[in-house]
Homo-oligomer: A and B are copies of this chain.
């Protein structure tokens, strides 16, 4: 797995601790710059979005933030007025340690829904945030430690980095999330940091464009979280960069994290990449690709290396409102092998089964309607997913 030691970009400091939200693993992470910096965030569109999401959305309206607090093992969702008050209090307490306005602190939470925060322990944890965190030497610089601190049922921490152009500016991202993953605006939680200097509006435009073709293209189980949060913070410490080089680096990190999330889906053993081409437009391509990658029957067939490609035809077909999809034009491939309309013999099916037994399965569908394309990522559905989720809170 991809778990290198990665330093956070210049201009940021990291604080990671265990405050006992659920157990003794790290569960409290603060990433902060030395002063408010250019920032943006995209969030779940869930109608049950939690207080962390609503608070952060309002705090990022000005596209500036000093830092982000991430609490894992408790989502603080469906917790009523008490949950809203608690989120506001945490932002105030951390802001007081950092020496900034509460509105410059972003908050993200992940974990069980419908339980109040253990506020006594969280208040104690906030008090231990280093004063003026973000100023040089006030905290740590280990992005991997932060990635570990935000894990819930993730089996591996997810961190990725890329150099912008020839450097020295970099993009470093961390992410968590293995279930309840069908992001509608972002994945469960990801924090992207860069020491590049960009105007806030340009940062925002590039960030949202990259999110749309990375985290918004992953699905583990079709269940959209109440807590999806993706935040970017740009310290500017490494000076100005070429925007297109920045976008390339940001996309590299975001897509790498997206694939790490898919590969670590709850119980997952196989990464599934679905490429749809020849669609009427991008939206149709993505709708068909999501239909395939979310199909429990496709996912279980991949798990069993069962060469039952007809289930991909089924998943294309169930996009019933796309009446321009014509089964006489559709081409379906697994890897480089066309499975439809070509009729497969027994030896072809055996070869297909061997291909499906690999670590990654690529399913490519050409609708032959237009030029719309989309690539999405997901994972197989295994008895491990059942085991993990049949006994989560108890």
Contacts and interface: CB of A to CB of B under 8 A. Distances in A.
Interface string A61-83: 00000000000000101101000
A6 interface: no
A314 B180 contact: yes
A296 B383 contact: no
Contacts of A313: 48, 77-78, 113-114, 226
A220 to B, nearest CB: 9
Interface string A175-200: 00001101010000000000000000
B389 A297 contact: yes
Given A48-B313, A310-B114, A392-B308, A222 B296 contact: yes
Given A114-B310, A300-B386, A308-B393, A223 B340 contact: no
A386 B389 contact: no
Contacts of A113: 308, 310-311, 313-314
B391 A47 contact: no
A325 interface: yes
B48 A316 contact: yes
Contacts of A116: 343
B306 A46 contact: no
Contact of A46 (B307, B314, B382, B390): B314
A353 interface: yes
Nearest to A179: B297
Given A313-B48, A314-B113, A184 B304 contact: no
B46 A320 contact: yes
Given A223-B296, A313-B77, A314-B113, A382 B386 contact: yes
A318 B184 contact: yes
Given A221-B297, A386-B381, A47 B114 contact: no
Given A307-B393, A393-B306, A226 B314 contact: yes
Interface string A142-180: 000000000000000000000000000000000000011
Interface string A367-394: 0000000000000011101110111111
Contact of A300 (B114, B309, B327, B385): B385
A327 B392 contact: no
A380 B141 CA distance: 45
* Interface size, A (range): 35 or more
A99 interface: no
A295 B46 CA distance: 14
A358 interface: no
Contacts of A323: 47
A45 interface: yes
Contacts of A327: 47-48, 78
A83 to B, nearest CB: 10
Nearest to A75: B310
17 contacts: A46-B314, A46-B317, A46-B318, A46-B320, A47-B317, A47-B319, A48-B313, A77-B313, A80-B341, A114-B310, A180-B311, A184-B318, A223-B296, A300-B390, A304-B394, A306-B389, A382-B386
Q: Which 7 A-B pairs have the closest CB atoms?
A: A113-B310, A304-B390, A48-B317, A46-B317, A300-B389, A45-B320, A224-B318
Interface of A: 44-49, 75, 77-78, 80, 112-114, 116, 179-180, 182, 184, 221-226, 294-297, 300-301, 303-304, 306-311, 313-320, 322-323, 325-327, 330, 339-341, 343-344, 353, 381-383, 385-387, 389-394
Given A47-B319, A114-B340, A179-B297, 11 more contacts: A46-B318, A47-B323, A47-B326, A77-B310, A78-B313, A114-B308, A114-B313, A116-B343, A180-B297, A222-B294, A301-B389
